[in-house]
Amino acid sequence: MNHPADLAELRARRLIAQALAPSAAREPIHTAVQAARHMLAVQGQKYPAGIQALALRAGVDAAVVHAAVEKREITRAWPQRGTLHFMPTEDATWLMRLGSPRVARAQAQRRPQLGISPEEFETARAALHTRLRELKGEPLPRPQAYEIFAAVGIDPGEGRGPHLIRALGGEGEVVQGPKQGRDDTFLHIADLPVQPRVLEGEAALAELGTRYFHAHGPATIRDLAWWTGLKIADATRAAHLARQVVEIELNDTTYLMGSWQLEVNGADMDQALKTDYRLPAFDEYLLGYGSSREEILPADIAPEVLTKNGISWDFHVVAGVVTGRAG
């Protein structure tokens, strides 16, 4: 059963948590890097859309986010579900290593169909890493990455090149740098000016749970599992280990959120719902949730903004509800 007042509160709190609506209860966000750290990761399938998602949350122009990518403070990589996200560079390695094992197993099962042997995969890894380290932090454009694979006897055609890039990227050492024209570029994490954080096991799960629920809550454990691609058991452990997170009952469902939200007041929530938003394709307000996405996205609107085969467009949000594609 839907309770309108509960749904309104849920939507308002999510808008505030995601730094789309203001509240003095949430830590202020003034820079692109602060926005990236708060969100942990934002969808980046469409490069300009991911840039705009961070710009909106920081209250800055897209050029400021591009500058942070140029300075290697923010990077684009494959931390979960094998999907591109923008994130703080210091978080890329631990987050990719936490979220990639299930994807990596599926990728390994596909390689025989692509004609890539285990030995060739190792050869491709060594060749790419060697060239990236030789460049000492200078970006390697995608066409040149494919030339490296070809030079060691691996034809990058028929999907092999993109597969190798995604699979090697998920291991936590290869990330994307700033675009060069239309081309993606690649960097080795060890050559970047930002020191990667080292988090493993329960420390990584605790950090994941903390930052997800603080930036996306109210959200469920199943939402976290979907967002990361982790097993429910791992997502549950992350929720239990999360710091300064509290439960809230809304619409007959138990959600988790950052404890700072206890200080969010009615005026904050009213303002969040009175504001109309235009959000970029794949925005976290839409893609940051799994099973509870329906609470902000009506079923009849869904095909207008997000198709089942992974196409998305800019969209409007009114009173916390997605109302359709932006013109």
Burial of 302 (0-12, 13-18, 19+ CB in 10 A): middle
pLDDT at residue 251, as a whole number: 87
pLDDT band at 308 (very low <50, low <70, confident <90, very high): confident
Structure tokens at 170: 């998920």
SS (HEC) of 141-209: EHHHHHHHHHHCCCCCCCCHHHHHHHHHHCCCCEEECCCECCECEEEEHHHCCCCCCCCCHHHHHHHHH
Residue 3 has pLDDT above 60, yes or no: yes
pLDDT at residue 44, as a whole number: 96
Q: Are 210 and 244 a contacting pair, CB within 8 Å?
A: yes
Task: For residue range 147-184, list pLDDT tens digits in order.
Answer: 999 999 999 999 999 999 999 999 999 999 999 999 99
pLDDT at residue 78, as a whole number: 95
277 three-state secondary structure? strand
**For 4-8, 260-264, 271-275, which range has the lowest pLDDT when averaged over its residues?**
4-8
pTM assigned to the model: 0.95
DSSP 262: G
pLDDT band at 292 (very low <50, low <70, confident <90, very high): low
- In whole angstroms, what is the distance from residue 156 CA to residue 269 CA? 51
Residue 137 has pLDDT above 80, yes or no: yes
Residue 2 has pLDDT above 70, yes or no: no
**For 44-53, 170-179, 294-303, which range has the lowest pLDDT when averaged over its residues?**
294-303
Name the CA radius of gyration of the chain, rounded. 20
Residue 114 has pLDDT above 60, yes or no: yes
- Looking at every residue in the chain, the average pLDDT score rounds to 96
Task: For residue range 183-220, list pLDDT tens digits in order.
Answer: 999 999 999 999 999 999 999 999 999 999 999 999 99
All domains of the chain, ordered by start, with CATH? 4-78+199-325 (1.10.10.10), 89-191 (1.10.10)
pLDDT at residue 293, as a whole number: 83
